[in-house]
Structure 1
Amino acid sequence: MNFSVSQQSRLPDFIIGGAPKCGTTSLHFILAQHPDVGIPDDEVHFFDADDPIGHPDFLFGRPDGLDWYDPRPENKVAMDWYRARFAGFADRRLIGEDSTIYLQSEVAPARIQALLPEVRLVFMLRDPVKRAYSQYWHLVTRGRATCSFETALSRHPSIILGSTYAPHLQRYLDRFGPDQVRIGLFEDFLQDGQGFVDGMTDFIGLSRRPLEDGKSWFNRTWYPTRPGLQLALNRVSGRIVAGQYRNHFGDRADRAEHRRSRFHHRWFRHVHPMFLKAERPPAMRPDTQAYLRQHLSARNAGLSALLGRDLAAVWPGFTA
């Protein structure tokens, strides 16, 4: 990798750090429209890129060992790559990035603090049961899940981990303090989008702007009309999507990688979406919902106290 970026180039003033499937993409989309903000289009995935649970596609087993990315700030090559993500925003007043797995990472907070001690951190939460179900269907629609939701709860640990908020938020609050951490609820965003975004821009240090109709929602999902057939198709799609991030850090530019990338694009543009025509997913089984309400309440013990808000009034069945 060759990134000729000045060591003095600017780094993020704020980070949207998660959780996934909680409206972070919509918030990113809204902030990116602000003329004073520079933020890369895609999630950066830097400070926790060596996490085998959050980013299993970033690690590759080879006959001669493990192929992995070293995102530690002391790694100059990695730092040059990270700085290059923001090189085009020198004229913007504030720079940000969006990486939704940072919240659940045990290593990201210390790395972020070491490099960006003054950064402002934004986290969005959602009813943990609904968030888990939404992530499952994200895995299905992206060709990654080949099993039922009930089976996926143990086969894909990121589903439960992504809905475990309390201990991960506490980790960030302990390192950065409440003045640098802003926690918002997806449900508040749905209820009052303008008020929600005004609070976020105030926290980051941006001027308020009115939300434009049609430009405050992003990341519309289409669901399988025939879930069983979609899961069967995913047995093929899963093998293809497994290499989606092989070149995330730009160190693979040979012909084989180009062919793989082109095939991936064509498959997921033309073949994979054949059954993705429904506006809503099937309803969750009541017994599964009951299990998740009690288990995710237990995993998030103390969250209402941490946020200073009775979350049972927002998330039905939540008891923590």
Structure 2
Amino acid sequence: MNDASKPTATRLPDFIIGGAPKCGTTSLHFILGQHPDIGIPDNEINFFDADDPIVHPDFLFVEDGRLEWFDVEDPEGKSLDWYEARFAPFRDKPRIGEDTTTYLFSAAAPERIQAALPDVKMIFLLRDPVRRAYSQYWHLMRTARLACSFEKALTQHSSIVLGSTYAPHLRRYLDAFGPDQVKVQIFEDFRTDQQAFIDETTDYLDLPRMSLAEAKTWFNRSTYPQMPRLHRAANRIGRGLISGRYRNHMGGRTGLRHRVHHKLHHLWFHKVNPRLLRAERPPRMRADTAAYLAQHFSARNAGLSDLLGRDMSRVWDGFTG
């Protein structure tokens, strides 16, 4: 844990919200960001798994026949300098955090985080794995990274299934950090009692509790395609136009090609997408697909209830793991 009472040129995170995606991490980030003793960058950092082609395929790309990638383990230390710079504005805060929802299911991240931040406290949020997978699908649709049905996406985009595979990845973090540095919280508990959920989080971080009566708790409301088939057709065009939107996440890229990518990204998400996303709820998942996923995710998460010390079949419909 960083000692905020000692002056230092740099500060690194005391805690990390490490996933899973579409489990309420954005809301937790938004609420904790209002705590007077916490400093946390607005955006996800995506540092310790930036070179992982499974969780971040958009960060790697081929240019002039060469694979371009961000070297997390740069021997000259420039990549760590980039990471430290994300937290410079918060160096005087008692606690500094970061939020990267893909750390949970990156095979490379746990050991890297432990090596760089041995005392960091990890926070993971879990959600009904079937609902989580479906929510991620619609997120990928909204961001023009998919142009197919949910059923086809399950066979073509491994991150959707991987993101709902909790148990083996949690074990990896528990092995790396031990149970005192790994906090697992359940999204459905957040929905039931937000104040109790946040109290549990701030207690874990050894910080004073915050009243949600005085905080903003609603970060954003998702919208969905009003005509899914039309949206999929539009995404067949859009995904090509904005394919480079994440190439400059780590900065350093300039020039005409980067400016064109930025312009196309802005045009798509501020002009085209809003016209397609008019529904307040997504279409209902096919019952046979839901039944398949409940069975499969129970198998992939075998032993999760024992790991958490809680019968998750009482929380998630159809779950038996």
Q: CA deviation at 1:74?
A: 4.3
Q: How does 1:47-62 map to 2 (within 5 A)?
A: 47-62=48-63
Question: Does the CA-based 8 Å contact 1:47-1:72 persist in structure 2?
Answer: no
Cα distance in 1 between the residues matched to 2:304 and 2:270: 40
Shift of 1:8: 4.1
Aligned twin of 1:281: 282
Partner residue of 2:30?
Answer: 29
Amino acid at match of 2:86: R
Amino acid at match of 1:179: D
Q: Output the amino acid matched with 1:194.
A: Q
**Residues in 2 aligned to 1:73 and 1:313: alpha-carbon distance in whole angstroms:** 46
**Offset, 1:215:** 1.5
- 1:122 aligned counterpart, secondary structure: strand
Amino acid corresponding to residue 314 of structure 1 in structure 2: V
For residue 140 of structure 1, report the CA deviation from its aligned partner.
0.8
What do the CA deviations read for 1:2-51 (whole angstroms, capped 9, x no partner)? Answer: xxxx9940000000000000000000000001111111100000000011
One-letter code aligned to 1:97 = E
Ranges in structure 1 where 5+ consecutive residues have no aligned partner? 1-5
Provide the secondary structure at the position in 1 that maps to 2:246. coil
Q: Deviations over 1:194-232 (max 9, x none)?
A: 000000011012210111377112232100110000000
Is residue 308 from structure 1 mapped to residue 301 from structure 2 by the alignment? no
CA contact (8 A) 1:311 1:318 kept: yes
Judged with a 3 Å threshold, the aligned counterparts in structure 2 of structure 1 residues 185 and 73 are, in CA distance, closer, same or farther, namely farther
CA contact (8 A) 1:73 1:111 kept: no
Deviation at 1:64, TM superposition (A): 3.8
Note closer, same or farther for the CA distance 1:38–1:137 as it changes in structure 2 (3 Å cut).
same
Indicate the residue corresponding to 1:196 in structure 2: 197
Q: Residues of 1 paired with 2:209 and 2:10: CA distance?
A: 27
Match of 2:233 in 1: 232
- State how 1:121-140 maps to structure 2 within 5 Å: 121-140=122-141
Q: Which residue of 2 aligns with 1:158?
A: 159
Partners of 2:126 and 2:185 within 8 A in 1: yes
**Can you give the 5+ residue segments of structure 2 that lack an aligned partner in the other structure?**
1-6
Shift of 1:73: 6.7
TM-score (ref. length: structure 2): 0.95
Q: 1:90 to 1:298 in 2, by over 3 A?
A: same
Among all aligned residue pairs of Structure 1 and Structure 2, give the percentage whose two residues are the same amino acid.
Answer: 60
Aligned to 2:174: 173
**CA–CA separation in structure 1 for the residues paired with 2:211 and 2:174:** 30
Q: CA deviation at 1:273?
A: 2.2
- CA gap of 1:7–1:72, structure 2 versus 1, over 3 A, is farther
Any conservation in 2 of the 1:21–1:134 contact (CA below 8 Å)?
yes
Instruction: Please tell me whether the aligned partners of residues 225 and 277 of structure 1 are also in contact (alpha carbons under 8 angstroms).
Output: yes
Q: CA deviation at 1:271?
A: 1.0
1:39–1:97: 8 Å Cα contact kept in structure 2?
yes
Deviation track 1:254-280 (CA, whole Å, cap 9, x = no partner) reads: 233123212211221111221201000
**What amino acid is the match of 1:71?**
V
Give the aligned partner of residue 84 of structure 1. 85
SS at match of 2:62: strand
Provide the rounded CA distance (Å) in 2 between the counterparts of 1:292 and 1:256.
Answer: 41
Q: Residues 312 and 318 of structure 1 are in contact (CA less than 8 Å); yes or no, is this contact kept in structure 2?
A: yes
The number of residue pairs the alignment matches comes to 315
Aligned to 1:104: 105
- Contact 1:18 1:123 survives alignment (8 Å): yes
In the TM superposition, what is the alpha-carbon distance from 1:72 to its structure 2 partner?
2.1
Query: How large is the RMSD of aligned CA atoms in angstroms?
Result: 1.5
Instruction: Find the aligned partners of 1:214 and 1:141 in 2 and give their Cα distance.
Output: 28
1:18 counterpart letter in structure 2:
G
**TM-score, normalised with respect to structure 1:** 0.96
Counterpart code for 1:86: F
Residue pair 2:242, 2:264 contacting (<8 A) in 1 also:
no
Matched residue, 2:260: 259
Deviation at 1:240, TM superposition (A): 2.6
